[in-house]
A and B are shown apart, each in its own frame.
Chain A
Amino acid sequence: MLKSSLGLIALSSLLLSGTAFAQEKIKVGVTATLEGTYTVLGEDGMRGHQTALNVLGKKIGDKELEFIVASTDATPDSAVRAVRKLIEQDKVQILLSPLSGDEGIAVKNFAKTHPELTFVNAASGAQETTYVDPAPNFFRYNMDGAQWQVGLGKYAYETKGYRKIATVGEDYSFIYTQVFGLVLEFCGAGGQVTNRQWVPLGTKDFASVIAALPDDVDAIYLGLGGADAVNFLNQYQQAGGKAHLMGGSIMIDQTILSSKGSAKNALIGTIAASGQADTWEDPGWQKFVKAYQDSFPESKRFPSPSLLATNYYGSTMALILALRQVNGDLSNNQAKLKDALAKIEIDAPNGKIKLDANRQAIGTNFVTEVVDDGKGALFSKVVKVIPNVNQTLGYDPAVFAKIGLPSRTVPECKKY
């Protein structure tokens, strides 16, 4: 008995001295969807993260950043498990997490149980995460799904002349938020959304969903991502589908536009909106694309960074710059760092980003159209750039609150 407790004491003192050594380092936990339907998205997110480290370096004054990566599968419980593991086992002080919508809501709620730590959202884009009961230690430097759709509804109605559309989307918070943004604007302009179909995340066989698409609409909006999107397009071509398409932010993205096979060709000419456009001429964006391309050999990356890479880049950049402002000071429950994060304005590759009172990004949005570069590679071409998009999408906050939270049926198709 005595012997074993002695051993325990020896062991714990060893562990303690271990943490004493590690004080020179600042430990940051990162999560990405490195398994399941969104594997490709997670991988490219990590490439964006790595690009940021290559550009900015890991030094914070005399301290050095150490990153520990954990994998999730886009489900909220996997994200909380990964974050908990990073905090409890790896003793990270700061979290860069998570990637996907439902994960974001779960991690935000979890963040409240650790008010002493700092959580920087990596890429997730559900509205609820920062709009409803936000956590004071959770910061999001990317826009939410609804902000990423700003401009698309008007462009479809006014320029393309679409009057009636139907939507197909994955059944979870991020896509609800995307459809929310689209419907508000499209119906506000006078259009009609006649049918909203929801499919479970991870659906592989869309044949019946495709058969159930209405034929009396001008265009079909696709709010799908990852493997689901590729399967849909493949089966859509096999069924001989010919309708005009519109795309969500992770549908018209390099993760899909550079998939292997011919299914993606169904997307040429598709209009979409997102927090980035592949062919934007802005020098900051071009510099980022170059840094991304130089960081990885051609076979290990996409021709151009995906939205996930851009988001991970932006969030990593915000964190590093804020840490440098406070010289890596994490004392007093990281109060200085939190303060710096709330105030910082970053020159992200996809435009200037600052945070609102809920610590949610206000940024730039892009309406795009998919083009073929002539060599078989597809890119999203800028059609319109919309600066200063906030979370209430330009609505008066009181009016916006009345619309309700994004869900399968909210918002109604009408002018608010």
Chain B
Amino acid sequence: MARFIERHPAWALIVIIAVAVLAWLVFAIWPPGLEAAIGRKRVFLNAVLNGITLGGLYFLVASGFTLIFGLMRNVNLAHGSLYLFGGYIGYAISTWTGSWILSFIVAFIAVALVGVILQLAVFRRMEGQDLRQTMVTIGLSIVFADLMLWVFGGDFYQVQTPSWLIGPVQLPLLTAIKSSGEPVYLQYPLVRLVIFLASVVIGIAMWLALNRTRIGMIVRAGVDDRDILAATGVRIQLVFVLVFALGAGLAGIAGVVGGTFQSLSPGEDTRFLLASLVVVIVGGMGSIPGAALGAVIIGLAEQLGSVYIPTYAIVVTFLIMVLVLALRPQGLLARR
């Protein structure tokens, strides 16, 4: 941090001012002039929180994607199908057993198994052949999409939110003061907060596992140089399978999350594939913190865009991607 300030004093100043302005926007009571110019504070706060929580969902999908890419240099374009499949499994389990938590566990295991099969049956046979892998995964995603359409139909599915998570909670953030002097606090859907916290926990756990454990060390070594790692006697294929299973399982969990606060239907697979591609391009391919940063940026851009420039909201995320590709093509937090 100190080094960054020393090296880029101008940038550091801009960042500090931006953070201060944001903090003021979040915590202060807005003067009437500002409300007249850009709308009520409640709307702004909601959009910011929604952007961050949506970023949590994007992070869950994209982290698996980026993990697989980082280690195996393998662009799995069937990742969206794994997301949707996880969601459907979660729906089936939660309606069958009535347990929301259990649906996460089963979806993780089931989709991780699909990931293992994919790695063993497909990717292992075409290691290092990028184009072939890409074509095969596109093909697989089409096949999966049609299979799921066949089994589940085109209907919309929603994973039932447990009753203790339905409804809003009051956050200690002031949105306005009534004329009677009574403060008005922000109401926010509880389920989104819980899901966001869960994705933060998962993100930190992944970071710790990668940076503080032996397995993580092996994976990181594999990211840097697979051949040397294999030469030291590590069973690299086993590591590949494990990482693929973890990445796929995360997509499965994300599917249940997405099914809870959005919905599941055909077409969601490509939407989330696209979202995770954008997220990892912005954040940097193969980097977990990059996926987190990219996810929050894209989530915020979508939500703030949908409130303040609804007509062009769709363009904003791609604009960000174009800017990143133009100015820092390796991604914001790329390792190399």
Residues of A within 8 A of B (CB): 34-37, 39-40, 42-43, 73, 171, 197-200, 202-205, 207-209, 211-212, 226-227, 230-231, 234-235, 237-240, 259-263, 300
Check A199/B262 contact, CB under 8 A, given A43-B153, A238-B191, A259-B155.
Answer: no
A-B interface, 5 closest residue pairs, ranked by CB to CB distance from nearest: A261-B158, A211-B46, A39-B154, A207-B50, A238-B189
Across the interface, do B168 and A261 meet the contact criterion of CB distance under 8 Å?
A: no
Measured CA separation A414–B158 after assembly (Å): 40
Across the interface, do A207 and B192 meet the contact criterion of CB distance under 8 Å?
A: yes
Give the chain B neighbours of A202 by CB distance below 8 A. Answer: 271
Across the interface, do A235 and B189 meet the contact criterion of CB distance under 8 Å?
A: yes
Across the interface, do A211 and B43 meet the contact criterion of CB distance under 8 Å?
A: yes
Across the interface, do B307 and A209 meet the contact criterion of CB distance under 8 Å?
A: yes
Measured CA separation A231–B302 after assembly (Å): 16
* Listed residue (A207, A230, A231) with the most chain B CB atoms within 10 angstroms of its CB: A207
Would you give the 0/1 interface string for B153-187, flagging 1 where the beta carbon is closer than 8 Å to chain A? 11111111100001110000000000000000001
Across the interface, do A261 and B157 meet the contact criterion of CB distance under 8 Å?
A: yes
Give the chain A neighbours of B263 by CB distance below 8 A. Answer: 204, 227, 230-231, 234, 259, 261, 263
Contact of A208 among B43, B156, B157 (CB under 8 A): B43
B306 at the interface (CB under 8 A from A): yes
Across the interface, do B155 and A260 meet the contact criterion of CB distance under 8 Å?
A: yes
- In the complex formed, the residue of A with least CB distance to B167 is A240
Q: Is the interface of B mostly helix, strand, loop or mixed?
A: helix
Give the chain B neighbours of A209 by CB distance below 8 A. Answer: 306-307
- In the complex formed, the residue of B with least CB distance to A33 is B154
Could you jot down 27 A-B contacts, CB within 8 Å? A37-B267, A39-B266, A40-B265, A43-B153, A43-B154, A197-B310, A198-B310, A199-B306, A204-B262, A205-B50, A205-B302, A207-B189, A208-B43, A209-B306, A211-B42, A211-B47, A212-B47, A227-B263, A227-B265, A231-B263, A235-B262, A237-B166, A239-B189, A240-B187, A260-B91, A260-B156, A261-B158
Q: How many A-B residue pairs have CB under 8 A?
A: 128
* Listed residue (B39, B157, B159, B262) with the most chain A CB atoms within 10 angstroms of its CB: B262
Give the chain B neighbours of A262 by CB distance below 8 A. Answer: 158, 160
Give the chain A neighbours of B155 by CB distance below 8 A. Answer: 40, 259-260
How near does chain B come to A67, taking the closest CB pair, in angstroms?
A: 19
Measured CA separation A400–B265 after assembly (Å): 40
- In the complex formed, the residue of B with least CB distance to A34 is B154
- In the complex formed, the residue of B with least CB distance to A299 is B153
How near does chain A come to B192, taking the closest CB pair, in angstroms?
A: 7
Contact of A39 among B191, B267, B271 (CB under 8 A): B267
Across the interface, do A204 and B271 meet the contact criterion of CB distance under 8 Å?
A: yes
Give the chain A neighbours of B314 by CB distance below 8 A. Answer: 200
Contact size range, B:
35 or more
Give the chain A neighbours of B160 by CB distance below 8 A. Answer: 261-262
Across the interface, do B265 and A39 meet the contact criterion of CB distance under 8 Å?
A: yes
Contact of B189 among A171, A240, A259 (CB under 8 A): A240
Q: A34-B154, A226-B265, A262-B158 are in contact. List 7 more A-B contacts (CB 8 A).
A: A205-B262, A209-B306, A211-B43, A212-B307, A227-B265, A235-B189, A260-B158
Measured CA separation A40–B157 after assembly (Å): 12
Across the interface, do B46 and A207 meet the contact criterion of CB distance under 8 Å?
A: yes
How near does chain A come to B95, taking the closest CB pair, in angstroms?
A: 8
B261 at the interface (CB under 8 A from A): yes
How near does chain A come to B94, taking the closest CB pair, in angstroms?
A: 10
- In the complex formed, the residue of B with least CB distance to A36 is B267
How near does chain A come to B56, taking the closest CB pair, in angstroms?
A: 12
Measured CA separation A202–B272 after assembly (Å): 13
- In the complex formed, the residue of B with least CB distance to A238 is B189
Give the chain B neighbours of A226 by CB distance below 8 A. Answer: 156, 265
Measured CA separation A211–B40 after assembly (Å): 10
- In the complex formed, the residue of A with least CB distance to B161 is A238
Give the chain A neighbours of B307 by CB distance below 8 A. Answer: 208-209, 211-212
Contact of B313 among A36, A42, A200 (CB under 8 A): A200
Measured CA separation A226–B267 after assembly (Å): 12
Measured CA separation A171–B315 after assembly (Å): 14
Across the interface, do A259 and B43 meet the contact criterion of CB distance under 8 Å?
A: no
Would you give the 0/1 interface string for B31-62, flagging 1 where the beta carbon is closer than 8 Å to chain A? 00000000100110011001101100000000
Measured CA separation A212–B42 after assembly (Å): 8
Would you give the 0/1 interface string for B279-320, flagging 1 where the beta carbon is closer than 8 Å to chain A? 000000000000000000000001110110011011000000
- In the complex formed, the residue of B with least CB distance to A300 is B153
Across the interface, do B157 and A211 meet the contact criterion of CB distance under 8 Å?
A: no
Give the chain A neighbours of B168 by CB distance below 8 A. Answer: 238-240
Across the interface, do B50 and A208 meet the contact criterion of CB distance under 8 Å?
A: yes
